[in-house]
Amino acid sequence: MDIYEALYTTRAMRRLKPDPIPHDVQARILDAAIRAPNIGEQWRFLLVDDPQIMAQLAPLYRQAFERLLSQYGVSLDVILKDETLMGRIARSGYHLAQHFAEVPLLLIGFAGTREGSGIYPALWSAMLAARAEGIGSAMTGVLQTFFADEVFDILGVPKDAGWYMHGVIPMGYPTGKWGVGARKPVHEVAARNSWQGELGFTVPEPLWRK
Ligand SMILES: Cc1cc2nc3c(=O)[nH]c(=O)nc-3n(C[C@H](O)[C@H](O)[C@H](O)COP(=O)(O)O)c2cc1C
């Protein structure tokens, strides 16, 4: 796959088929991921595909998702009917929260630092490699925000070894189609030479299209 196609179309896919992802595919995803920038910081990648473990994580994910919404003062009933982008994200997020136990594979990244700057490039590489394999994924953070302790217990992660959980990434073959992620255009979020400096170009439409 062309790298630009992967970059433009690796977007949150939360509606996933329960079909298992073969181990050779998982191996290619992880082996690509660990080529990401790294300065020798500790990292560890945990794959979860045991239905019994997923059944323990699922209620925590659902509670965490609901807690996130209430933290932002968002009513589930209202946001699920919202026709804006936020409504679409919320509906997709709610679907994942309702079906978390059926996700065929989770990739969870652990790092030796709280901010996790050393592991996010690898997690994003894993998502890109998954895209190249036709596998959808989504970066999620609610489990680590609200239930890190409980997840450590479920997964047997040592609590006294300085590990921090970063990024829980559901993966699976998507039920929907790949599309280009909607973002504010480049000229609205970038500048040149100074904070308000003229960038010198505008990009009204995504520069990659199938
Ligand atoms: C650090 C981080 C944490 C996130 N946590 C969650 C999450 O817990 N649950 C969720 O549904 N989406 C989460 N998202 C949002 C999605 O991964 C995705 O970026 C967003 O919905 C935009 O989707 P798109 O790429 O399809 O446009 C998170 C994103 C980031 C960068």
Q: Is 207 part of a structural domain of the chain?
A: no
Report in angstroms the alpha-carbon separations of 113 from 38, 69, 109, 199.
Answer: 13, 27, 12, 34
Atom 23 (ligand 1) nearest CA = 12
Inter-residue contact 192 to 185 (CB < 8 Å)? no
Q: Is 39 part of a structural domain of the chain?
A: yes
Q: Is 136 part of a structural domain of the chain?
A: yes
Inter-residue contact 131 to 182 (CB < 8 Å)? no
Find the distance separating the first CA and the last CA of the chain, reported in whole Å. 12
Q: What is the mean pLDDT of residues 82-91?
A: 87
pLDDT at 184 over 90: yes
Q: Is 126 part of a structural domain of the chain?
A: yes
Number of domains in the chain: 1
Q: Is 201 part of a structural domain of the chain?
A: no
Q: What is the mean pLDDT of residues 120-131?
A: 98
Residue pLDDT, tens place only, 152-171:
999 999 999 999 999 999 99
Q: What is the mean pLDDT of residues 181-203?
A: 96
Q: Is 209 part of a structural domain of the chain?
A: no
Q: What is the mean pLDDT of residues 116-132?
A: 96
Q: Dihedral angle at the C-alpha atoms of 76, 78, 80, 86, nearest 10 degrees? A: -100
Q: Is 204 part of a structural domain of the chain?
A: no
pLDDT at 173 over 90: yes
Give the per-residue pLDDT at 75: 87
pLDDT at 40 over 90: no
With cut-offs at 50, 70 and 90, classify the pLDDT of residue 87.
confident
Cα 28 to ligand 1 centre (Å)? 23
Q: Show the domain range for 61.
A: 3-183
Cα 139 to ligand 1 centre (Å)? 5
Atom 31 (ligand 1) nearest CA = 139
User: Across all residues in the chain, what is the average pLDDT?
Assistant: 95
Q: Is 20 part of a structural domain of the chain?
A: yes
Give the per-residue pLDDT at 79: 85
CATH number of the domain that residue 148 is part of: 3.40.109.10
CB of 86 shorter than 6 A to ligand 1: no
Give the per-residue pLDDT at 60: 98
Give the per-residue pLDDT at 80: 84
Tokens found for residue 51: 């239905």
**Pick the residue with more confidence: 181 or 130?**
130
pLDDT at 1 over 90: yes
Atom 17 (ligand 1) nearest CA = 139
Inter-residue contact 14 to 100 (CB < 8 Å)? no
Give the per-residue pLDDT at 199: 98
Give the per-residue pLDDT at 32: 98
CB of 93 shorter than 6 A to ligand 1: yes
CA 156 to chain centre: 22
At which residue do the structure tokens 């040592």 appear?
158
Residue pLDDT, tens place only, 42-60:
999 999 999 999 999 999 9
CB of 176 shorter than 6 A to ligand 1: no
